[in-house]
A and B are shown apart, each in its own frame.
Chain A
């Protein structure tokens, strides 16, 4: 390519000050909802987004499942599901909030223009359709805890509502650090700094309250500098900027060592896998519960966990004998009969390393490759899976388009599944999605710092699109309440100056000709260090070397990283976030002297803690800049000062005045 002059004006070093009551960092699902709820309370709101608010974020590119629908639309109560999660590393508080506010939030989506039901009557008479409300259910048709939605309409609807409410949107701006009162670690958060990815202009946001909604993190383990191995379901710019900024401001983070799951086969991790749900997936997620057929045309037998064979299609969408319900990742999930045993269709349970799976292949019970076969399923199931879900899930609109344009026809064709081939992403390439870790929040969704709230994946274990939407609304409302009473925020300009120096260093390295490394090379190095030392074989010695390596990188090569334009500057700053994330994950992994199956297994501490000893590992930066390791109870949200039950806390803390 010929040299092209940078197409935008260069404004390096220019400062733009923005003042708001509530500052929302991240314009994904959680951030948009937080901004909307805050703005509806009449306060002045600014929203900062690294990409483009109209589509960006992990949930921005689509959503096919709306999870955790309670009575009266569904059949379950939040209590019967959420109490199951107590005593686990999940966060039953956020599960509960997500269940309780679920329907209201979905209806809010509809009010602002999103499509949530079968208004065109395309599924009239289907067993998963409620004829009165026209909702289409997924998974468990008896208990109806999940609704199939037209998620591609969600983000544009949110964007229009933000505009209507007069929220100031700062697109293409990466937020870089939180600003605190007096520049002190652990003090009240009074705003943030940012830099524009097209102009390089420096932003100073001053706000009474701040909501962190920056999503999760990718590219810590999974990175290929070419052939596109960067990410999974989200965009490649999810780099943990929020976690890192919160940690550096003194907020308490927890469970970062649990923020890792193994790479898999087939989908996720583009370079080594395939686009999401664009291959014959397994029996979960978007493709649940399709027929899986082997190369000889033999159908895998669907079974309930007790081994009872499932005779018809409808049976896959019902709980098994003696089971009232099965929910997302919970007990009771239907599966396949493999090597004479039940193997859950939940993806991890039948990935490459499953012993029954390997044995079935070895002895010829299953002939590879497998195919997802919709041809014999009822028309409405086929159309729901391929026509609706693949049309609407994150990044899958293009999959529907490309596959059909290439001639794929689900009425006749079976799409290959890449599971079981022994290829794909090696286990040490840890993938972050659906994993744990984040800012510790209370029932107000406030972090441990005054003035700082967190929602979506930025908060400890929020789950999925509905979790982001619900916690976003809650955090936005709470932040607005706080902002209405909070004193004027004061910026410490020494803190701003220090940040400005940090931000522009890579540009100066380029200008002075002393830059030696690109963001890509350093990203690749971080990922390799993490795979080798904090990946598949977790133990004290390896992880300690990993920490030394990361520190050497920070003190060495990172000082010679360079950026040739504002876009590269954003990527470089992301790599700084990734390095911090790598360090946090390593420190937390070293601190946990036990294993947490199935993903966090320490070679030197293979035993799981007994239930009464299980704790969350916390990381907090103290006022001297030292990171302190601590621990907290799993169910901290039911300990004083909070009430002892989920119901009571909801009654006390919900921002809607509901009882």
Chain B
């Protein structure tokens, strides 16, 4: 085996399990565990309180992000109230990712370039907030 060559066999070592297929969409509501503190100190995390269909549950470990227990139900709703309720959303604590089948496309008028949500090498974000600012977007106490 030459130097610097990957040892794929070694990398693949480990336990494997018989598992059912996962429920999709798999990445609908995503938390950053380095930012989300599970709203520690509040009666329940604000995203859970704002979930219209009760698809999120608290993490069994205090201080950790909630768990999207029912991604399939959330996928049939996609209201985004959890993101709007989160005081740390702008720091990346919580995101709602549209499922791959719902990543819409657009075209730049002047150049004819094609884009889509979730594309590799995306264009830079458009920083313009909605009319009256993000504050009117559904934040509440």
Residue interface mask A390-413, B partner, CB < 8 A = 1: 111011011111111111110011
Q: Which residues of B contact A226 (CB under 8 A)?
A: 23-24, 72
Stretch at the interface among A48-56, A203-211, A454-462: A48-56
B136 to chain A, nearest CB (A): 5
Q: Inter-chain contact count A-B, CB under 8 Å? A: 204
B46 to chain A, nearest CB (A): 10
Q: Which residues of A contact B25 (CB under 8 A)?
A: 227-228
B53 touches A235 (CB 8 A): yes
A225 touches B104 (CB 8 A): no
**Chain A: CB-nearest residue to B58:** A7
A139: Cβ under 8 A from any B Cβ? no
Q: Which residues of B contact A401 (CB under 8 A)?
A: 80, 83, 137
Residue interface mask A211-248, B partner, CB < 8 A = 1: 00000000000000111111100011100000000000
A498: Cβ under 8 A from any B Cβ? no
Stretch at the interface among A267-275, A544-552, A612-620: A267-275
- With A271-B101, A278-B104, A408-B106: A236-B77 Cβ-Cβ less than 8 Å: yes
CA gap between A379 and B117 in the complex, in Å: 24
A66: Cβ under 8 A from any B Cβ? no
Q: Which residues of A contact B75 (CB under 8 A)?
A: 227-228, 230, 270-271
A152 touches B54 (CB 8 A): no
Q: Which residues of A contact B57 (CB under 8 A)?
A: 4, 7
B102 to chain A, nearest CB (A): 5
**Chain A: CB-nearest residue to B123:** A407
Q: Which residues of A contact B128 (CB under 8 A)?
A: 387, 404, 409
B108 touches A413 (CB 8 A): yes
**Chain A: CB-nearest residue to B124:** A407
Q: Which residues of A contact B24 (CB under 8 A)?
A: 226-227
Contact among A51, A275, A375, A409 for B126, CB-based, below 8 A: A409
A402 touches B136 (CB 8 A): no
Q: Which residues of A contact B123 (CB under 8 A)?
A: 406-407
A362: Cβ under 8 A from any B Cβ? no
Q: Is the interface of B mostly helix, strand, loop or mixed?
A: loop
B78 touches A275 (CB 8 A): yes
B117 touches A54 (CB 8 A): no
A52 touches B52 (CB 8 A): yes
CA gap between A387 and B136 in the complex, in Å: 12
Q: Which residues of B contact A571 (CB under 8 A)?
A: 73
A448: Cβ under 8 A from any B Cβ? no
Q: Is the interface of A mostly helix, strand, loop or mixed?
A: loop
Residue interface mask B107-140, A partner, CB < 8 A = 1: 1111000011111001111111011100011101
A61: Cβ under 8 A from any B Cβ? yes
**Chain B: CB-nearest residue to A397:** B137
Contact among B52, B84, B106 for A235, CB-based, below 8 A: B52
A430: Cβ under 8 A from any B Cβ? no
CA gap between A395 and B57 in the complex, in Å: 21
B80 touches A416 (CB 8 A): no
Residue interface mask A147-163, B partner, CB < 8 A = 1: 00010110010010000
What are 22 A-B contacts defined by CB distance under 8 Å? A4-B69, A54-B50, A152-B137, A198-B54, A227-B24, A231-B76, A235-B53, A274-B102, A278-B104, A373-B109, A391-B131, A392-B130, A395-B79, A397-B137, A398-B96, A402-B97, A407-B123, A408-B115, A413-B107, A414-B108, A416-B107, A520-B72
Q: Which 6 interchain pairs have the tightest Cβ spacing? A: A230-B76, A398-B80, A228-B75, A391-B130, A407-B123, A156-B140
Interface residues of A, Cβ cutoff 8 Å to B: 1, 4-5, 7, 51-52, 54-57, 60-62, 115, 120, 122, 150, 152-153, 156, 159, 172, 197-198, 225-231, 235-237, 270-271, 273-275, 278-280, 371, 373, 375, 383-384, 387-388, 390-392, 394-395, 397-409, 412-416, 418, 520, 567, 571
Interface residues of B, Cβ cutoff 8 Å to A: 23-25, 49-54, 57-58, 60, 67, 69-70, 72-73, 75-81, 83-85, 96-99, 101-102, 104-110, 115-119, 122-128, 130-132, 136-138, 140-141
